Amino acid sequence: MDFQLKSLRLAEAAAMSVPALAVLVADGFEPGNDALSALIGRALGSGDFKTDAGALLSSYGAQGVAVDRVVLLGIGDGAAHRVRKAVAAGVAALKGSPTQSLTLCFAQPVDAAAVCAATLAAGDAAYVYRTTKGKRDNPKNGAPRLTEVQIGVPNTALAREAFQRAVGMAAGVELAREWANRPGNHATPTQLGQAAQALAKLPAVRCEVLGPRDIAKLGMGAFQAVAQGSRQEARFIVLRYDGAAKSDAPVVLVGKGITFDTGGISLKPAPEMDEMKFDMSGAASVLGVFRALGELKPALNVVGLIPACENMPDGGAVKPGDVVTSMSGQTIEILNTDAEGRLVLCDALTYAERFKPRAVIDIATLTGACVIALGGVRSGLFATDDTLAQALVAAGEQALDPCWRLPLDEDYAEALKTNFADVANVGGRPGGAITAAKFLQRFASAFPWAHLDIAGTAWKGGSAKGATGRPVGLLLQYLLDQAGPAPGRAPKGGKAAAKSGQGKRKRA
């Protein structure tokens, strides 16, 4: 997808010869003397169009307007979440058409957050999965037709930085969605490692992929236990983005990479088991973040860790009641083999200590209990550090990728006690998302730590089945908020401040 930011007012938009034009109209619109203003005024006056967020009206052959097809989109008060809703509706209306290029024009001045929301919403709505579909060039099989989006604003200087962030973020979200959407036989641990290695072509990104022997040498007994029931070899992926001085402590992101989860010996029910291809959405989000970091080049250091394997029930699989030794030396009684995500994550958290991180954030489709608690609106957040938690919550709100903090009271750890090991891997149904977090907390005492349970937000089911790319937006916003000034770039308002004019960015 090509994104362009250009200076564009309604009079100029009316004279443009473009395939499709969508005009975003906020409350309080005051018509000018141009043809588009006249069209909007007539539509509002007739009552056929309202500025409520998501309201839509299509027009063909409007007098004085060069483009044949114009879509009017209401954005309410112009807040970012209302702009997102409007653009999603507009792109959806055009998705079945042969339109390859869309111009989104704001009818009134808007803030940078609205421009960011419009860019992200356009990329999100235009995405179509096609990796395993036949006849890729056939639009009936899902081949995308929309390949270019222009964002028109009255003043580009005020929106350029937000636009550039949004383009990088959109690239990361798309990559995360793509890998999470792939079926298990097209997203094996080996293939996930290859996807990570491909990211090493980006500026300042390095990648190392460890195999079963390396994992065994590290003493990752919990990770090995999950992987031992599959014919697919496990991979431990280490990504590094070096955007700051070596002395700067990195932020470490740990993504759960269960490329398919049958539940192991504690086998899941058959209905909807296919959705367990999404169980590596945490890993996919880490890949997406690094894709965006390579584009945006912020001044900070980031490490990405992905323990990748399948959870399968063959004759060599770990059994309920087995006791394994984690990399930390703590022993774990595996009471339920379907609580495997915390087993691979705990060894990755121990591995993270070697980087002396400023913070560690793990991301996982960890518990159905979190889905019951928060649904698909907010990701669950657990944290041992208030400053880290507050920063993540704020980043989620700004990125329209919200989370909600849940407790870590020590009393919840009582449920994980066992007579046969240092800790059990499950603690029963009550407070299941919290006891899972309490299990992970045992392996995260050496650094400020946060855990994002994305079981309810990483994908949608039903007719809209597919990955959402969350929480790439939240994570990127948090990282960008932590970054210092980029090398060679003056602070905002200095001599190197962005100039107005046309800009173009491309994402894969």
Q: C-alpha dihedral over 405, 348, 334, 384, to 10 degrees?
A: -30
DSSP output for 343-363:
HHHHHHHHHHGGG--SEEEEE
DSSP per-residue letters across 275-304: GGGGGGHHHHHHHHHHHHHHHH--BSEEEE
Dihedral angle, C-alpha 184, 188, 194, 198, nearest 10 °: 20
**Nearest to 390, CA basis, from 409, 410, 405:** 405
CA dist., res. 344 & res. 230, Å (int): 14
DSSP collapsed to 3 states, 382-415? EECCHHHHHHHHHHHHHCCCCEEECCCCHHHHHH
Could you count the other beta carbons within 10 Å of the beta carbon of residue 27?
15
Which residues are paired to 305 by β-bridges? 238, 254
Phi, psi of 287, rounded to the nearest 5 degrees: -60, -45
- Nearest Cα to Cα of residue 164 among 296, 52, 54, 47: 296
Distance CA 140, CA 133 (A): 10
Residues contacting 221, CB < 8 A, separation 6+: 324, 325, 326, 327, 347
Cis peptide before 154 (omega within 30 of 0): no
3-state SS track over 33-56: CCHHHHHHHHHHHHCCCCCCCCCE
Question: Counting beta carbons within 10 angstroms of the beta carbon of residue 494, is it exposed (0 to 12), middle (13 to 18) or buried (19 or more)?
Answer: exposed
Which H helix or E strand runs over 169? helix 160-181
Identified catalytic residue from 268, 358, 460, 465: 268
What angle do helix axes 472-482 and 160-181 make, rounded to 10 degrees? Answer: 140
Q: Is 268 a catalytic residue?
A: yes
For residue 9, give every residue at least 6 positions away whose Cβ sits within 8 Å of its Cβ, in sequence order, or none. Answer: 154
CB of 359 closer than 8 Å to CB of 383: no
H helix or E strand, kind and range, residue 124: helix 112-126
Q: Among 342, 438, 442, 507, which one carries the catalytic annotation?
A: 342
Amino acid at site 385: D
Q: Whose CA is closest to 412, among 401, 399, 426, 398?
A: 426
Residue 136 annotated in active site = no
Catalytic sites, residue numbers: 268, 342
